[in-house]
Amino acid sequence: MSEEALEMAPQGEAVSRIEVDRSAEWVVTIYWASSLFWLLIATLAGLISSVKLHSPDFLGSYEWLTFGRIRPVHWDTAIYGFGGTAASGTLLWLQARLCQTRIPFPALLIAGGVIFNVGVLLGSIGVLMGQSTGVETLEFPLYAMPLLVIPYVFIVIANFRMYFTRRSSHTYVSQWYLMAVTVWFPILVLAAEACTNLGAVDGVAQAVANWWYGHNVVGLFATPTGIAAAYYLIPKVIGKPIHSYHLSLLGFWSNAIFYNWAGTHHLTGGPLPAWTITVGVVGSMMMFIPVITIGINHHMTMLGSFHHLKTSPTLRFAVMGSMVYTLSSFQGSLESLRSHQEITHFTHYTIGHVHFGMYGFFAPLMFAMMYYAMPRLTGNEWSSARLIRIHFWCTLFGTALYAGAMCWAGIRQGQMMNDPAIPFLNIVAFTKPYLMLRTLAGLILLSGTIAFLINFVRIVQPHKLRFVTPTLLNTERDYKLLLEKEKELKQNDK
Amino acid sequence: MNSDQAKPEFKRAPEMEDRIMEMHTAAMREMSEPRDGIRPTPVLFLIICFLFTMWGGYYMGTYAGDWTGNGLSERAAGPAAAGPSAPQNPMVLGAEVYNACTQCHQADGKGLAGQFPPLADSEYVNGDVRRLAAILVNGINGELVVKGQTYNSQMPAWKDNYNDEEIAAVLTYIRSSFGNKSGPVAKSVVEAVRKEVGANGAFTSATLTEFADKK
């Protein structure tokens, strides 16, 4: 080892960071790579469903691609394929970083990632073949479910192992959320499967279990992981402490207490005892407390550091995610009210809200994690700042267009449906242009995904040459030149 | 940026032995792990939390339908809920009910040529109200001549789906829409027809005429 190398040797905290990143290299990359694959599949399935809504004959002759099959595949690959693997990779890397421990059992976790992917694939094919269970969000046939649950058990074990062998003295707020997710999610899946597909309860109680799960899979799985990522990335990139520990505490516990109750607001107007829905509405409205708390913590930390948004890709996505978290949560709480649902229930408004939350809050935070961590895991830099910019603006505009078009169409649709003087077909005709706008938004989101995929494939490829400086949004990268020089180098080496 | 441009753009990927040092320039340049600040919780925010909690209690107390297991109405059974509901405008109610009819008779009441008879300008719609009510109550099967055209299909019975007020309302609605200008149908007409033939099955063209002539 040269003297120069010794001088450059990292010291202090950086040592543990490097150790952690080396142990995470394969595991986390595999989880994130598969999450992007499923994001592409989910986006394509979503696009097909979207086109079918305004042009019903599109691909109409393939029974595999009928709306009743392709739409569940869209949502299930989005939440399990993309969400599940992106969140698991995030969980493993963040927990390892914050505990300053290596990721344990790498072989087991990699095997888990492979099994999980096989599970999502089998489940999707099953649904496409017409074997859907018909229970929303749990459409995958029962034989696919163990393949999704068992890998998650590995992740839970690895997570606890990291936490109990941690070298850090302080437990940071992100870790609370990550620990909570690993406790909540297995309970959610098992209880929901038992109460729906396994038939522990019948009738309307099944619907309650279904929507309790349907809301919580977003609220107690995707949301805490997203919040954990935002709590980590925002102070990390701008180098300031998070605004307030007291608020973090209040936000975490109020989230834990209230979110679980919210699911039944999906069944407003259904044949349920009125109190079940009332409790759901109150649970949803009480979510204002954790949302405001988390909002203050994230936005007040950012205050005065907005100039970093010009350069840092990570921060741009993270701040977009945390801002949309506040907005979409406010929207969601108000949406649960009976007086609001009188108009928007069973309209496109709900679909607009879901995509606003998932693609405006959760997905950008997962992208931010990848933009931050992948250079550390691979030792490469992102090959193109332009592709990152395209990805960001496509994500932002695509989501805004989607949510804007669907929510507005939903409000008008609901108002018209409440007016008996308007024939139903007129309302369908009214929504058609908005449904086309949705397809356009889907295409924009797809372009962003493809831009990200190109960058992702390039960063995980083994390279002989590397960019020296980090890829910031205002840097220009010449990937072609790098490839050319690499070719020359290879010839010289021979 | 100028000083950056002077530096080389690329470097060689590190070989295995000094991988640890060189590979992790990204990990070395980054900021230290995030820490917690200790700003106090704003008082205004605590007040907001308190108000939300109070609202939650109020809402649950008001809209939980007495916490009974089989109460579908969110309001507890009180004098307001128990009182008779105000009679609805038959044209509004009828239009709402008519949504169920549009599949066959279409939104414009013109039916489908050769398949479903029209309501617009139909002698059945604008004729005897007792006969019209009977068609809705029991349904009608088989051949039927409307406006000189022969149709052969089935109209289902609606007696189990709608009450007398709703059937009367939809009859009133179709008798004064699509260019029809006949008078309203009273609830009592439907009531009487239901009492008379409500237990029977669907009419045919012949039994309907027989029923209408009986009077």
* ipTM of this complex: 0.84
Does residue B13 register a pLDDT over 80? no
Q: Rounded distance, CA A391 to CA A441, Å?
A: 13
Q: Rounded distance, CA A279 to CA B99, Å?
A: 33
Comparing alpha-carbon positions, the chain A residue that sits nearest to B56 is: A282
Closest-CA distance, A306 to chain B, in angstroms, reads 17
Average pLDDT over residues B111-122: 88
Look at residue A253 in the predicted model and tell me its pLDDT.
95
Q: Indicate the residue type of A77.
A: T
CA B94, B99, B101, B105 torsion-angle sign: positive
| B149-155 and B140-146 strand pairing | antiparallel
Q: Indicate the residue type of A473.
A: L
Give every CB contact of residue B166 below 8 A, 6+ residues apart in sequence.
B93, B97
Look at residue B35 in the predicted model and tell me its pLDDT.
86
Structure tokens at B141: 């099967």
Q: Residue B80 domain-assigned? A: no
Q: Residue B75 domain-assigned? A: no
What share of chain B in percent tops pLDDT 90?
13
What share of chain B in percent tops pLDDT 70?
82
Give every CB contact of residue A413 below 8 A, 6+ residues apart in sequence.
A347, A348, A349, A427, A430, A431
Q: Residue B202 domain-assigned? A: yes
Q: With beta carbons less than 8 A apart as the criterion, state whether A103 and A96 touch.
A: yes
Mutation test of the interface with chain B: which of A282, A298, A492, choosing the one with the most B Cβ atoms within 10 A? A282
Does residue B38 register a pLDDT over 90? no
CB-CB under 8 Å, B52 with A237? no
Of A252, A244, A229, A384, nearest to A315 by C-alpha is A229
Q: Rounded distance, CA A327 to CA B201, Å?
A: 57
Q: Rounded distance, CA A418 to CA B95, Å?
A: 12
Strand, helix or coil at A467? strand
CB-CB under 8 Å, A278 with B60? yes
Interhelix angle B129-138/B187-197, rounded to 10 degrees, is 60
Look at residue A388 in the predicted model and tell me its pLDDT.
96
Q: With beta carbons less than 8 A apart as the criterion, state whether A240 and A248 touch.
A: no
CB-CB under 8 Å, A271 with B24? no
Does residue B5 register a pLDDT over 50? no
With beta carbons under 8 A apart, name residues in chain A contacting B65.
Answer: 273-275, 278
Average pLDDT over residues B113-132: 89
Look at residue A10 in the predicted model and tell me its pLDDT.
55
**CB-closest option in A242, A289, A424 to B102:** A424
Q: Rounded distance, CA A160 to CA A375, Å?
A: 26
Average pLDDT over residues B155-183: 88
Q: Residue B117 domain-assigned? A: yes
What's the total number of domains in chain B? 1
Look at residue A420 in the predicted model and tell me its pLDDT.
83
Q: With beta carbons less than 8 A apart as the criterion, state whether B122 and B178 touch.
A: no
Q: What is the mean pLDDT of each run of 10 residues along chain A (494 residues)?
A: 48 75 92 97 97 92 93 96 96 94 94 97 96 93 94 95 90 95 92 92 90 93 96 93 93 94 90 90 96 95 92 95 97 94 94 96 97 91 93 97 96 93 92 96 97 95 83 85 86 81
With beta carbons under 8 A apart, name residues in chain A contacting B44.
Answer: none
Helix (H), strand (E), coil (C) string for A400-440: HHHHHHHHHHHHHHHHHHCCCCCCHHHHHHHHHHHHHHHHH
Place of tokens 């202090």: A12
Q: With beta carbons less than 8 A apart as the criterion, state whether A268 and A274 touch.
A: no
Q: Rounded distance, CA A86 to CA A363, Å?
A: 9
Q: Residue B154 domain-assigned? A: yes
Instruction: Read off the DSSP letter of residue A134.
Output: S
Look at residue A446 in the predicted model and tell me its pLDDT.
97
Q: Residue B143 domain-assigned? A: yes
Distance of alpha carbon A106 from its chain centroid, rounded? 23
Q: Indicate the residue type of A19.
A: E
Q: How confident is the model at residue B23 (pLDDT cuts 50, 70, 90)?
A: low
Strand, helix or coil at A468? coil
Residue B112 pairs in a beta bridge with: B116
Structure tokens at B177: 């829409």
Assign residue B197 the CATH number of its domain: 1.10.760.10
Mutation test of the interface with chain B: which of A11, A466, A472, choosing the one with the most B Cβ atoms within 10 A? A466
Comparing alpha-carbon positions, the chain B residue that sits nearest to A379 is: B23
B:102-161 residues touching chain A, CB 8 A cutoff: 102, 107
CB-CB under 8 Å, B29 with A1? no
CB-CB under 8 Å, B14 with A17? no
Backbone phi, psi, residue A449, to 5°: -60, -40
Place of tokens 């051949």: B143
CA A118, A217, A163, B28 torsion-angle sign: positive
Q: Rounded distance, CA B104 to CA B115, Å?
A: 8
**pLDDT (tens digit per residue) in B59-90:** 998 888 888 877 677 765 544 444 455 667 88
Q: Residue B205 domain-assigned? A: yes
CA B95, B99, B101, B104 torsion-angle sign: positive
Look at residue B75 in the predicted model and tell me its pLDDT.
67
| B140-146 and A465-467 strand pairing | unpaired
Q: Residue B156 domain-assigned? A: yes
Of A352, A361, A374, nearest to A317 by C-alpha is A361
**CB-closest option in A237, A292, A464 to B12:** A464
**CB-closest option in A232, A246, A279 to B41:** A246
The answer to whether B15 faces chain A, any CB pair under 8 Å, is no
Look at residue B7 in the predicted model and tell me its pLDDT.
58
With beta carbons under 8 A apart, name residues in chain A contacting B17.
Answer: 1
pTM of the model: 0.81
Residue B174, domain extent: 90-214
Q: With beta carbons less than 8 A apart as the criterion, state whether A303 and A344 touch.
A: no
Q: Rounded distance, CA B97 to CA B95, Å?
A: 5
Angle formed at CA A392 by CA A47 and CA A368, multiple of 5 degrees: 105
CB-CB under 8 Å, B99 with A424? yes
Look at residue A114 in the predicted model and tell me its pLDDT.
97
B:41-70 residues touching chain A, CB 8 A cutoff: 41-42, 45, 48-49, 52-53, 55-56, 59-60, 63-65, 67-70
> How would you class A168 by CB atoms within 10 Å of its CB: exposed for 0-12, middle for 13-18, buried for 19 or more?
middle
Put residue B149 in one of left, alpha, beta given phi > 0 → left and psi -120 to 50 → alpha.
Answer: beta
| B10-12 and A465-467 strand pairing | antiparallel
Q: Rounded distance, CA B41 to CA B48, Å?
A: 12
Q: Rounded distance, CA A290 to CA A227, Å?
A: 11
Q: Rounded distance, CA A379 to CA A376, Å?
A: 5
**Helix locations, A196-268, DSSP H:** 204-217, 223-238, 245-258
Of B110, B126, B117, B177, nearest to B150 by C-alpha is B117
Q: Is B14 or A229 the better-scoring residue by pLDDT?
A: A229
Give every CB contact of residue A166 below 8 A, 6+ residues apart in sequence.
A98, A99, A100, A101
